[in-house]
Structure 1
Amino acid sequence: MTSTRDHGYARYKLDGCRCYTCGWAVAQYRDAREHAIRRGEWQPYVDAAPVREHLERLRACSLGLRRVAEIVHVDRKRLQVILNGRPERGTELQEQVRPALAAAVLRVEPTLDNLGSATPISSVGTHRRLTALVAAGWPQAHLAKRLGMSDGNFSSLLGRSQVIVRTARLVRSVYDELWLSDPREHGVGTQPFSRARNHGASHQWAPPGAWDEDTIDDPAAFPDWTGRCGTPGGCHIHSRIGVPACQPCRIARQKARAAARDTTA
């Protein structure tokens, strides 16, 4: 049977091809290996345990082996062997892997770009982006149209605890397009603009400027309304700008007052 592998080291070793190209590839490999050994840098294998643990974490985040294999451009069976061992060897797990494979797998993170489009994820980041746009003056009907939704579906989306990755990606794209724009310069009338802002204010929805793009998807993150939220001085700024104090500011003020009482006691 004729091999479909490209000519090179693998075809020389696995298929027995002895053409000039394959022979040259092997000679280069051996030369590089000898130089690395002399320098004390030869490391043909690394511990497989960190790779196995990372694969388990990715699976817990709904990033399966098939998708990881696509991202790192390897056969899924290679990852299955690392994770579960070889059936013919019972429960014995693979102890070592090639450094390049280990590095490639460890670089994979469960981001929106890597997760499968139908994977359900937390809706926290999606909700924050949509409510921030409303708080900035974008009417919900306008956003629903951009997302290809009906007004009812848009309202339902704001009430869900999970969304699929495809929806989260679409909302992120719309948010990235609109968050720096003035809605009135994009066809939104003055009255709808004001109604959207008032609606956002009544629900205490944080505007885009209060969110850090690096943490907006983190459930533990909080909007920085004042530039000093989470510090004792944050409540004073909240009062000045007419926005109710956020929980981190209230907690910081309580701690500051408790510390002041302790020092005067």
Structure 2
Amino acid sequence: MTTDQAIREAKNRWARRRRRLIGYGQWQPFTDAEPARQHVLAIKATGMGLAQIAKHTGVNRGSLDHLLYGSPPIPPAAQIRTENAQALLAYWPSLDDYEDRNIIDGTGTRRRIQALAIAGWPSKAIHQRIQVGNMQTIEKLRTRTKVTARLARVIRDFYDEVSTKTAEEYGVEGWVAARTRTYATKNQWAGPEAWDPDTIDDPDAAPEWTGACGSDRGWWMHILNDIPACPRCETAHAEWLAERRDLPAKERWRQLALAKGAASSRGANLAHDARELMRISGLNHEQVAERLGVTRQHLYQELTRHPQTETELAA
């Protein structure tokens, strides 16, 4: 659905609702402008201009100016047309909504470049594939906080294309990929398997290294799989230990052993159950993850960490 079609559909929905409200005597043509004003300011903070917001919401540019700035000496609007408020509050820009020159948040781009390094992709190889800027441009993206929308889209599309396989499978020399992984691991960057595609651009999201990050079990899974513990798991384990600080030493060690055992067996059991479910039902990975109550990337992690045993292969 194009932007124009989406705007027309939203306006038609609002027109139908307005007719119903008028019929019930509940029609209020104006509403408090503050929620819409704060929402528009939040969108502007992402790098999008008012002309673009007007284009994507169908709200007149002049109305947006009056909402934010007023017309001195007239202050910003205290009220706004209800249909305009609805259109503004219902909109949040996607990456494809920005113009190429817009400067936007670099969180998603930075995470994708770092994840590709874990997969073995050095900056030079990425530059050779996407042909944007130079090798130093790609190198700087590993830490950059702001990028152009055009570059963010190029990196997103390349990441979506190659992130499910290792760099070697795309022709990167093994020793180069290994050196890149060592550097990325030393910096504790998260690989593609740790990021949910739906949240990788969210600055508030955190990588899911184990499928249980933020818990004591997650801390043990870090240790057992030789993954540096993330801050969330470090905090959770410290809290777990603090809660048991006053227990007798024997009981505390017993509970530690139980926690470690539960974490070590859970991943293998999950991988076994997933393969069995796929074999019996024919479900794909995403459907099996939903059935087992885990995320898609967590299931992928455990299948990778726990390959099929000889017994399973012989069955």
TM superposition shift of 1:97? 3.4
Partner of 2:169: 185
**TM-score between the two structures when normalised by the length of structure 2:** 0.64
Partner of 2:236: 252
Q: Distance in 2 between matches of 1:218 and 1:145?
A: 28
Q: Distance in 2 between matches of 1:199 and 1:113?
A: 32
Query: Structure 1, residues 9-64: CA drift from partner, whole Å, max 9, x if none?
Result: xxxxxxxxxxxxxxxxxxxx9xx95x754433434333333222322333333333
Matches within 5 A, 1:16-165: 37-87=22-72, 90-148=73-131, 149-165=133-149
Percent identity of equivalent pairs: 38
Partner of 2:180: 196
- Give the secondary structure class of the aligned counterpart of 1:97: strand
**Conservation of the 8 A alpha-carbon contact between 2:120 and 2:180:** yes
**Conservation of the 8 A alpha-carbon contact between 1:72 and 1:104:** yes
Change (3 A) 1:182 1:260: same
Q: 1:227 aligns with which of 211, 222, 235?
A: 211
Q: Which entry has the higher C-alpha Rg, 1 or 2?
A: 1
Change (3 A) 1:93 1:184: closer
- Give the secondary structure class of the aligned counterpart of 1:234: helix
Q: Distance in 2 between matches of 1:153 and 1:203?
A: 19
Partner of 2:154: 170
Q: Distance in 1 between matches of 2:174 and 2:75?
A: 69
Q: Distance in 1 between matches of 2:140 and 2:77?
A: 47
Change (3 A) 1:54 1:145: same
**Conservation of the 8 A alpha-carbon contact between 2:58 and 2:87:** no
Change (3 A) 1:120 1:264: farther
Gaps of 5+ in 2: 1-14, 250-315
Q: For the aligned residues, what is the CA RMSD?
A: 2.8
- Give the secondary structure class of the aligned counterpart of 2:68: helix
Query: Structure 1, residues 188-247: CA drift from partner, whole Å, max 9, x if none?
Result: 333333333333223322110111223323334322211112111222212221122122
1:54 counterpart letter in structure 2: H
Aligned residues: 232
TM superposition shift of 1:86? 4.4
Q: Distance in 2 between matches of 1:138 and 1:173?
A: 15
Partner of 2:202: 218
Query: Structure 1, residues 170-189: CA drift from partner, whole Å, max 9, x if none?
Result: 21111111111343332233
Gaps of 5+ in 1: 1-28
TM superposition shift of 1:98? 3.2
Runs of 4+ in 1 over 6 A off after TM superposition: none
Change (3 A) 1:136 1:86: same
**Conservation of the 8 A alpha-carbon contact between 2:111 and 2:142:** no
Q: Distance in 2 between matches of 1:82 and 1:124?
A: 30
**Conservation of the 8 A alpha-carbon contact between 1:126 and 1:172:** yes
Query: Would you tell me which structure has more helix in proportion to its own residues?
Result: 2
TM superposition shift of 1:257? 0.7
Q: Distance in 1 between matches of 2:105 and 2:80?
A: 33
**TM-score between the two structures when normalised by the length of structure 1:** 0.75
- Give the secondary structure class of the aligned counterpart of 1:63: coil
Partner of 1:206: 190
